Structure 1
Amino acid sequence: MRVAIVHYWLVSMRGGEKVVEALCDMYPDADIFTLVYDESRVSEKIRKHKVTTSFLQRIPGAIKAYQSLLPLMPFALESFDLTDYDLIISSESGPAKGIIPPPHATHVCYCHSPMRYLWDHYHFYRSHAGLASRLMLPVLAPLLRSWDVSTSLRVDRFVANSHHVSDRISKYYRRPATVLHPPVSVDDFTPSAVIDDFYLCAGQLIPYKRIDLAVEAFTRMNRKLVVIGEGKEMERLKRAAGPTITFLGRAPFAVLKEKLSRCRALIFPGEEDFGIVPVEAMASGRPVIAYGSGGALETVVPGLSGMLFGEQSVEGLIKAVRDFEENEHLFHPEALRAHAGQFSLRNFMVGMQAIIDEELMMRKTVQHRRDYNIAAMQRAFEAQLPALVTEPRSATLQ
């Protein structure tokens, strides 16, 4: 069985790329297809595979400005020739499911999210975009939405990374989805015996992550906050930050691991589809203070693994931090690590393999049933042939 893994773009190592790594472990001979590829910014595990890029790769500056090429992505995805593959696994968020699968192939889509900038976050993205994007999006978005919905019919089985995403797949694509949480390398993280007096934010510095709420809240409270990550919001956040806010930029894994294990708590103020960093914090024995929406509702259990706040505002976050500090003694590293264990890499791989095997067997059963029905119809037709033969005429017309 020849296997193809289709991922939207490979230009960094975040949650989606961790899923690709797990799929590479499951199918070590699989080929990878992606829109654009920066070999220097992905893991050795991914680099070991044959990676095929689209024509977007040849556009100057595409690796850094790939998101501006959104109108070309449907054409790029449909240009991939997957004729020789039996199993296609698309890792969808950017998009990726829009490939054209051959009739005989099984297409399983692991969906991190329907494209946020076309659907539920459309107005937020547009309001934070540059002038050109604000002008073009109202023209392009309806066309891209139509393409996005139509390509959902090219998928045989949807797998969602959370119930939150499953609900959006049902809403926008009218398709059911099996929920399987993404893999988290929980064994890579360990608790620390020393807890320092700071809170932590980690992730891309982009608008919908709402790191701005944390920066303003901790500036107001005069409490220490360490921010790990890079993105277009960096300069704006630095200008708004007070002296208690520290920006580390894109930190090595060793630094992230240390900060996760020694912070008082992870601050998670945005709405995420799932959110891997909170689980990494729990695996490090530290609780999470999260906005109570999206994937956080599936990982943050109040009183066990963290606290949730209902109002996505500076005031709501400040209140949550103060409530946490009154109850900080209730959180235990052992309980947090045990809770994080359910999101392990092994559980993901076992669950994904079971889903794929089930879908392959289902398609095989349907094919056998179709072949049987065709054979039965042919036998019935052949049995009727004698009655359908025209009798010779008894007289000749004069």
Structure 2
Amino acid sequence: MPTPPRAAPAAPRTALVHEWVAARAGAEQVFEVLAGLWPDADLHALTVDPAVALDLGGRRVRTTALDALPAPRALTLPLMPAAWAAHARDVQRSYDLVVTSHHAFATSNRLVAPGGVHLAYVHTPARYVWSPELDGRGTSPLLAPARRALAAADHRAARRVTAFAANSAEVARRVERFWGREATVVHPPVDVAAFAAAPAPTLDLPDGFLLALGRFVPYKNHLLAVDVAERARRPLVLAGAGPLLAALRERAATATVPVVVLDRPSRRTVHELLHRAAVLLFPTVEDFGIVPVEAMASGTPVVAPARGGSGETVLDGVSGALVDDLRVDALAAAVPRAEACTPDGCRRRAAAFDVGRFRERVLAWAGAHAGVLR
């Protein structure tokens, strides 16, 4: 009697988890690409700003109870681990495979089923908990008890994760230092081809301007960029959004060189700025930093610190100039060194971080740890 054929194994129930969707920043772009790699996965996040345009295949992102709170995100930080735990009870579903995009407390989610696999792609362990020297939001002595409690909760959550990937060697070192875990380095994706062609100019901007692009928050050091532009005697464009907008406009009004402040630039405007800038100023120690790679993909060299992600992405003398510290004179002196780099050299360097390479490396990492669940 012939043996009946085996039934095909059921597709693994898969979830993708992200911290919050508040802007189309680097972490959100990673979430978007991950969603494309797992097109049937359920999507989860703490909160979602519906004005942020992400291509998630038409899927709804399920959010936690924090999405209904009007409080600023900084005030909800102590509530995040508990919100993730409650969310698992609210959705009443568990998953064979959970892939988490983490930079605060997303690994606290309890969505993985018993015997399932939880993979975490780490942008950084929460900087305001583990590295307050890099992010002033966690430096107040009044926050020390909350930091200790959150660090303990974060460490417990890390023990439940099957495997980690880190967006840079710098972050992999933090994962080992703070959580005692190893992490595979998988650099974030950049759509290099999207930055290849120069858009037609539409903005009235001074020639030879320096560009500082990113959220208007203290650790991005936009005020320092103004000082650098004054020392270098070059015009500057500040582009981004955030709570320091008014302070930056006040500083721009008193600067000794032309300083243009662009609030909430469109993607097309960002594209134009990256192509037309003489140099991107990136005066901050980032976990990875997608903006410098986007600049290099546009053929624009970068001035950045040799520490953090920029030390891994920018090749000194090829796609920009690296500095050992964030002093005004060192950054200003690096500008002409960066300008000596060629657009072709910048673009070749950027190709190492193309989105296609990210997809290949993430799937290889996931396959190594999730096996048939992938």
Same fold (TM over 0.5): yes
Structure 1 residue 266 corresponds to structure 2 residue 280 = yes
- Whichever residue aligns with residue 173 of structure 2, its letter is D
Structure 1 residue 254 corresponds to structure 2 residue 264 = no
Structure 1 residue 105 corresponds to structure 2 residue 116 = yes
Q: How far off its partner does 1:322 sit? A: 4.3
Cα distance between partner residues in 1 of 2:344 and 2:133: 40
- Whichever residue aligns with residue 75 of structure 2, its letter is S
Q: 1:40 aligns with which of 40, 48, 51?
A: 51
| Residues 333/116 of structure 1: CA separation in 2 closer, same or farther (3 Å cut) | same
Matches within 5 A, 1:34-183: 34-43=45-54, 45-46=55-56, 48-59=58-69, 61-62=70-71, 65-81=72-88, 83-100=93-110, 101-122=112-133, 124-126=135-137, 134=140, 136-183=142-189
Greater Cα shift, 146-155 or 214-223: 214-223
Structure 2 counterpart of 1:277? 291
Structure 1 residue 352 corresponds to structure 2 residue 366 = no
Q: How far off its partner does 1:235 sit? A: 1.9
Cα distance between partner residues in 2 of 1:261 and 1:363: 42
Cα distance between partner residues in 2 of 1:167 and 1:304: 26
User: Matched residue of 1:110: which SS?
Assistant: strand
Cα distance between partner residues in 2 of 1:28 and 1:254: 27
- Whichever residue aligns with residue 220 of structure 2, its letter is K
Structure 1 counterpart of 2:333? 319
Cα distance between partner residues in 1 of 2:125 and 2:87: 21
- Kindly indicate whether the alpha-carbon contact (under 8 Å) linking 2:232 and 2:333 is maintained by their aligned counterparts in 1: no
Q: How far off its partner does 1:221 sit? A: 3.5
Structure 1 residue 245 corresponds to structure 2 residue 255 = no
Cα distance between partner residues in 2 of 1:153 and 1:58: 30
Q: How far off its partner does 1:104 sit? A: 2.0
Q: How far off its partner does 1:127 sit? A: 7.6
Q: How far off its partner does 1:363 sit? A: 9.2
- Kindly indicate whether the alpha-carbon contact (under 8 Å) linking 2:218 and 2:244 is maintained by their aligned counterparts in 1: yes
User: Matched residue of 1:46: which SS?
Assistant: coil
Q: Which runs of 5+ in 1 are unaligned?
A: 129-133, 365-398
Greater Cα shift, 183-192 or 115-124: 115-124
Q: How far off its partner does 1:41 sit? A: 1.5
Structure 1 residue 236 corresponds to structure 2 residue 247 = yes
Structure 1 residue 216 corresponds to structure 2 residue 227 = yes
Cα distance between partner residues in 2 of 1:358 and 1:27: 16
- Kindly indicate whether the alpha-carbon contact (under 8 Å) linking 2:36 and 2:57 is maintained by their aligned counterparts in 1: no
Cα distance between partner residues in 1 of 2:336 and 2:162: 48
- Whichever residue aligns with residue 261 of structure 1, its letter is H
Structure 2 counterpart of 1:186? 192
Count of residue pairs brought into register by the alignment: 351
- Kindly indicate whether the alpha-carbon contact (under 8 Å) linking 1:166 and 1:176 is maintained by their aligned counterparts in 2: yes
- Whichever residue aligns with residue 38 of structure 2, its letter is Y
- Kindly indicate whether the alpha-carbon contact (under 8 Å) linking 1:191 and 1:333 is maintained by their aligned counterparts in 2: no
- Deviation readout 1:112-133 (Å, 9 max, x if unpaired): 00000011225851587xxxxx
Structure 1 counterpart of 2:311? 297
Q: How far off its partner does 1:110 sit? A: 0.1
- Kindly indicate whether the alpha-carbon contact (under 8 Å) linking 1:77 and 1:99 is maintained by their aligned counterparts in 2: yes
- Kindly indicate whether the alpha-carbon contact (under 8 Å) linking 1:19 and 1:183 is maintained by their aligned counterparts in 2: yes
Structure 1 residue 335 corresponds to structure 2 residue 330 = no
User: Matched residue of 2:281: which SS?
Assistant: strand
Greater Cα shift, 143-152 or 47-56: 47-56
Cα distance between partner residues in 2 of 1:39 and 1:127: 28
Cα distance between partner residues in 2 of 1:19 and 1:74: 22
User: Matched residue of 2:126: which SS?
Assistant: coil
- Kindly indicate whether the alpha-carbon contact (under 8 Å) linking 1:222 and 1:244 is maintained by their aligned counterparts in 2: no
Alpha-carbon RMSD across the aligned residues, in angstroms, is 2.1
User: Matched residue of 1:97: which SS?
Assistant: helix
